[in-house]
Amino acid sequence: MTLRDFDSEAPAAASPVLVGVLAVVGVGLIGGSLAAALRQQGAVGRVLGVGRQTRTLERACGLGLIDAAASLEEAAAQADMIVLAVPVGAMPAILQELAPLLRPHTLVTDAGSTKFDVQQVAYAALGEKAGQFIPGHPIAGSETTGPDAADAGLYRQRTVVLTPLPENSAKDKALLTKVWERCGARVVTMDAQAHDIALASVSHVPHFLASVFMEQVAAASDSDLRMALAGTGFRDFTRIAAGSPEMWRDIFLANREALLSELGEVKAALERAEQCVRDGDGQGLHDFLERAALARRFWGSRSGLS
């Protein structure tokens, strides 16, 4: 894992354009925020938006996130860099369509939450051109969706993981790193499978548990009473459950094995904690809660996130 220095404070005026023409496929929260950040930093010339929904693209134009809507074909003919900011499940079709259109110098990357499957999809769809694709994952998000949720500050002080292929050129990797750094992010490179295992734990499991819990409360016969008595703890614990069902379905299926394995570990830990409650084991319960509290406080003090 390689950490690069965080440097988002360089003045836009002094900063060079990194990407002449950027094409963003999927101008929602993730793609729209990338476009907004790079425009704010003066790091892009022209931004094209590609997507299935005309209304979304019009809105992205209206918000100033993109200069124009384009087809994937038009984007491939003009763009120096293409970012796929779509649910993981939509990537095979897009990469297959893109493969014959891709010009030799164009760099392609993605923002998907799983990386091993994306890597496999890229090899299968792009073949000889796979070296032009660098898998990436900005670890940032929000429970809000669509171009209206785009935020030029979304990636500031956040981590972006790149899981480069052996075929990627050093020049492309350096450029993509610079692009994310200009958004204020910290770039880390690691192996795709190690990424998926770690993210199963700290991202996919929390979303899964928050969603399971939220659905269980909502399905209770007295859910109105329960929800009326829910406070700020409930609010924070369940916030991620409001996220996009399509996106998270794709993530859970794409990272199925690691997710189920981690859930197994969590269930074993849950069983141990429940046993303390059943046994009225105050000391055991206290020790478990203290380990959790100390770990969370330590993380909070180190992460810069809380």
Q: Is 33 in the site for a copy of itself (CB under 8 A)?
A: no
Alpha-carbon separation of residue 93 from 28, 98, 116, 118, 225 (angstroms): 19, 9, 17, 12, 45
The neighbouring-strand residues paired with 115 are none
Closest to a copy of itself by CB, 128 or 271? 271
Region near a copy of itself per CB under 8 A, out of 4-12, 19-27, 72-80, 229-237: 229-237
Q: Is 23 in the site for a copy of itself (CB under 8 A)?
A: no
- Sheet of 68-69, strand order: 68-69, 44-50, 19-25, 81-84, 107-110, 133-134
Closest to a copy of itself by CB, 20 or 264? 264
Q: Is 19 in the site for a copy of itself (CB under 8 A)?
A: no
SS3 153: coil
Position 82, amino acid: I
Lookup: tokens for 21: 């023409």
Among 22, 34, 141, 182, binds a copy of itself (CB under 8 A): 141
| Residue 297 C-beta: closest distance to a copy of itself, Å | 5
- Sheet of 136-139, strand order: 136-139, 159-162, 186-189
| Residue 212 C-beta: closest distance to a copy of itself, Å | 5
Q: Is 218 in the site for a copy of itself (CB under 8 A)?
A: yes
Region near a copy of itself per CB under 8 A, out of 25-33, 36-44, 124-132, 207-215: 207-215
> Do the beta carbons of residue 69 and residue 54 sit within 8 Å?
yes
| Residue 2 C-beta: closest distance to a copy of itself, Å | 12
